[in-house]
Amino acid sequence: MADPADKASSALNPDSRLERSSVSQSDAIIQVLTSSKTIAVVGLSNRRTRASFGVAQYLQSAGYRIIPVNPNETEVLGEKSYARLQDVPGPVDIVDIFRRPVFVPEIVESAIQIGAHCVWMQEGVIHAEAAERARRAGIFVMMNSCILKEHIRRARELPQRTKLL
């Protein structure tokens, strides 16, 4: 029998059902990628050689709205950059993290504050305690995983997006 707390948490955040139900991780990823429109990329840099730039550029070309979050940038990929997640106007569906693990707990707290539905820690970004904190807040978590690779892997199962202007 399901725990009533799980139902209450799921009612507040439908995406939290992804981790509490019998949905496979692959299906949950498809659901997150399909339902999301806006991705805040924390640590996004204008340097074309950085992984964050290539991943964000790909996601933008796939139709997602990319919001750079980096206090050292003013604009990346034609989008205004914000110093902190809390400065981003409007809703953020996915918080994609390109920062060292030591910074992850603070970013997760910010993701919780802004009501993000998913925290995605890129390859090499691992912080189990912060991931658990996000899960307890009803946020779907991917850790040590590249969102670009996951998107490509599931491209046939995802609807075609049009560029959001």
pLDDT in tens, 53-95: 999 999 999 999 999 999 999 999 999 999 999 999 999 999 9
Q: What pLDDT does residue 63 have?
A: 94
Domain-embedded: residue 161: no
Domain-embedded: residue 19: no
Domain-embedded: residue 67: yes
Q: What pLDDT does residue 165 have?
A: 38
Query: What average pLDDT score do residues 23-45 get?
Result: 93
Domain-embedded: residue 160: no
CATH of the domain at 46: 3.40.50.720
| pTM assigned to the model | 0.83
Domain-embedded: residue 158: no
Domain-embedded: residue 85: no
Q: What pLDDT does residue 161 have?
A: 55
In terms of phi and psi (left: phi > 0; alpha: psi -120 to 50; beta: otherwise), the region of 63 is left
Which percentage of the chain shows pLDDT scores above 70?
Answer: 82
Chain-wide mean pLDDT for the chain? 86
pLDDT tens digits along 94-144: 999 999 999 999 999 999 999 999 999 999 999 999 999 999 999 999 999
Domain-embedded: residue 142: yes
The Cα–Cα gap between 52 and 17 comes to 29
Domain-embedded: residue 44: yes
Number of domain units in the chain: 1
Q: What pLDDT does residue 5 have?
A: 34
